[in-house]
Structure 1
Amino acid sequence: MKQDKCRIIPPGFRNINRNRTNRISIAMNTQSIFLKLFVGGAFFTIILCSARGDEELEPEKKILSRHKRPPTYARNEKDDSKWSGIIRDGIDAARKYFGNYGPVYVYILGHEDKTLNSKDFHRKLVDAYCRHHCGDSRKELQSCKTGPGAELVKKALSGRGDAYLSFVGDTDPPIAELVFINPHEFRDPYLYTRGIHEYTHVYQRSFPVTPTWMVEGGAEFFAAYLGQKHGWEKLSDAMKEFMKNVHRVKDPELGIEDMEDVDKVSPAVKKYYRHLAYDAGAWAFAFMIHKSKRRSIADTRKVLYPLVAKHGWEQALVEFAQVKDKRTFYRAFRDFLKTPLEAQLKMLETLED
């Protein structure tokens, strides 16, 4: 079935489908674009325009790839605060570790100084945003600007902070958008690690799909691990906080096995999305490395994800963690969660760079 209008896609770690023969470029330079806009908010709405022909590759099967150009930044040129630099530092730390993948567009929106806000700022962002998502169709652009585009500004002005990746799969090549809203609302050094977390998703989207717990848990693990490497955070402290949240799950029957696909879980499970995917997921990612042959964190890049590309995530997990099947891994991880925190932290010490 084909669509002829834009529609709203829920926020989060998302796929965005578009059908356009030629991608409309926004006036951006290689290193940075400066949009004069003050916006912020808890959630973005993402726009889906037009339809895909049935013969085209499904967006969820598309992946990012090695890319020569660094991320393109969209931010307010009049904002001289430290926040955009912190975000860039985190992203660059992850790029140095994983490599440069893309194309990537980074949007940094929202400021402490509300005088940076104006209708002109809003107009420029909405125009660029809608052209990026809806092409140059006059009807679709107008629908976007008065609908989802206007809603974007309204939500942004709510003043809440947020950060996420959006995957745009119907372009050729597909692109990733990293969105940081009101970064001054994030505590320091948390903002450093958010750049790492979101760029880790870029790397992950360069391989076939993996379970939600591995996606978010892996991003949280690397945010803490690389954060420690750069002096922004201690891995052990971050993992302690994660474990506290793991133990806040009231249903003892729930585990990471229930968070393989967050879009398919019941509301009763989804309310523990943070606890199971991010917090337990980070520990499961570390436990998986602990179970591997060399206990090397770098082997996730050298061995695990190449196995995902070759065999899919389930077989990759089995081979990398040296287990009979995924159920065996899940049972072993459940047993691990029952051990004292001191023993759990000792496990982290067995991991090699």
Structure 2
Amino acid sequence: MKNLQIVIILTSMLSTGCVGNNKNIHNETKNKPIIFVAEGLNNDGSLVKNYKRGLDYAIDYFGNYGPYYVYLMGPSNKQNILDIYLSRAKTRATPIPSSSRRKQIEEFLKRPNVTSEIEAVLEGKEEGGLTWSESPVRVYEDVTTNATERENNPIENTWGALHEYHHVFQIAHCDSYEKRTSDKNLNSWMTEGGATYSSAKFMENLNLVDFRKYMLELLKNGGNISQIGINDFLLSGKEWNLDNETYWEKDYFPQVYYMLGAWATAYLIHVEGAKEITVLKNWYFDVPRIGKSAAFEKHMGLSLNKFYCKFDSFIRQPTEDLMNIFKDKKQKLD
């Protein structure tokens, strides 16, 4: 019952209105992340401990953006899950005259995607990911419908926390409601590729994975993202462009947005010579002010179009030549 008590305490705190109107979403917040855990999970404290290992590192690097709510759920008694979703609905309620707080809460809980998600939790299905609410109150949520796997795999638990929080930072510095092709929003390769690169690099900084080995795995076998690596994908002859946003509807979006995106991020740092903190963090600050194209060229030293051409030629080189960009480490490629 320990986890249920945690949820009750958090529900009481949230219902008092601790979430303010964050008109300027580009600024950091004083609100600390809050983690909801379903009953039956985290009995030894390891689930939250290993999640926070990644979350704390990411916040220290990117800054504290939010409010940020983490939902680690799984098959539990139905009332416990409904209580968590009620608390979630309360955090999303906004102070607008056209709709009462009570009505907003009721409408959220009746949304088809929300009722479907609750069913997934109760049935033990693995779904979820990062989501966020609309203005005037922006909240970010990392939702895991079945956190049993996270609890059983401390490495992936920490890794996932790092990846999702990079998205929080990215979304805070763009207009996420515009099309991804808009100059006000970010392309999928920028968000997913950037977070894939950063989370792997940070995992190495935490002495949990070998970053260079991971980048090699993305080329050869897809790593922890896909069963098809970049090399086999390129040999398949499928046409692709990093800035094409239609691949979410196809089966090779992991190869383009996540894996090639991660290597595109590596290219900017290890070939073009941009500082790691510039590529992972600093250039985003200018996106809301001057747009992604101008911000990219200002910080990376080349236009997006020129970058796309150069990267396309670069990534088609033999694996050994690609791995040579990581000159600071010596390791056999087999």
Question: What TM-score results when the alignment is normalised by the length of structure 1?
Answer: 0.71
The aligned counterpart of 1:199 is 165
Residues 1:333 and 2:315 aligned together:
no
CA drift at 1:217: 0.4
CA drift at 1:232: 1.4
The aligned counterpart of 2:47 is 83
CA drift at 1:316: 2.3
Aligned counterparts, 1:130-279, within 5 A:
130-133=89-92, 141-142=105-106, 144-145=108-109, 148=112, 149-172=114-137, 174-186=138-150, 187-208=153-174, 209-244=185-220, 245-249=229-233, 250-258=236-244, 261=245, 265=246, 270-279=250-259
Secondary structure class of the residue paired with 1:232: coil
Deviation track 1:308-338 (CA, whole Å, cap 9, x = no partner) reads: 3442211222233322x32221111111111
Q: 1:100 aligns with which of 55, 61, 64?
A: 64
Secondary structure class of the residue paired with 1:298: helix
The aligned counterpart of 2:28 is 66
Q: 1:107 to 1:330 in 2, by over 3 A?
A: same
Secondary structure class of the residue paired with 1:157: helix
Distance in 2 (alpha carbons) for counterparts of 1:278 and 1:207? 20
Secondary structure class of the residue paired with 1:347: coil
Residues 1:28 and 2:13 aligned together:
yes
Secondary structure class of the residue paired with 2:276: coil
Distance in 2 (alpha carbons) for counterparts of 1:221 and 1:183? 23
Deviation track 1:283-327 (CA, whole Å, cap 9, x = no partner) reads: 10111223445x42122356422343442211222233322x322
The aligned counterpart of 1:288 is 268
Secondary structure class of the residue paired with 1:339: coil
Give the counterpart letter for 2:213 in structure 1: D
Q: 2:283 aligns with which of 304, 326, 335?
A: 304
Higher relative contact order (CA 8 A, sep 6+): 1
The aligned counterpart of 1:35 is none
Q: 1:303 to 1:138 in 2, by over 3 A?
A: closer
Residues 1:123 and 2:82 aligned together:
yes
Deviation track 1:208-240 (CA, whole Å, cap 9, x = no partner) reads: 222110000000111000000001111112212
Deviation track 1:96-136 (CA, whole Å, cap 9, x = no partner) reads: 111211111111112xxx6xx22321331232233344565
CA drift at 1:63: 3.4
| Contact 1:286/1:348, CA 8 A, preserved across alignment | no
Deviation track 1:163-221 (CA, whole Å, cap 9, x = no partner) reads: 5211212233x221122332332444222110000010111122122211000000011
| Contact 2:267/2:311, CA 8 A, preserved across alignment | yes
| Contact 2:163/2:198, CA 8 A, preserved across alignment | yes
Secondary structure class of the residue paired with 1:236: helix
| Contact 1:164/1:179, CA 8 A, preserved across alignment | yes
Give the counterpart letter for 1:84 in structure 2: V
Q: 1:266 to 1:151 in 2, by over 3 A?
A: closer
Runs (5+) with no aligned partner, structure 1: 1-24, 30-58
Give the counterpart letter for 2:78 in structure 1: K
Q: Percent identity among equivalent residues? A: 24
Distance in 2 (alpha carbons) for counterparts of 1:106 and 1:201? 14
Secondary structure class of the residue paired with 1:164: strand
Runs (5+) with no aligned partner, structure 2: 1-9, 15-21, 95-99, 175-184, 221-228, 330-334
Distance in 2 (alpha carbons) for counterparts of 1:122 and 1:334? 47
| Contact 2:71/2:141, CA 8 A, preserved across alignment | yes
Question: What TM-score results when the alignment is normalised by the length of structure 2?
Answer: 0.74
Structure 1 or 2: more helix by fraction: 2
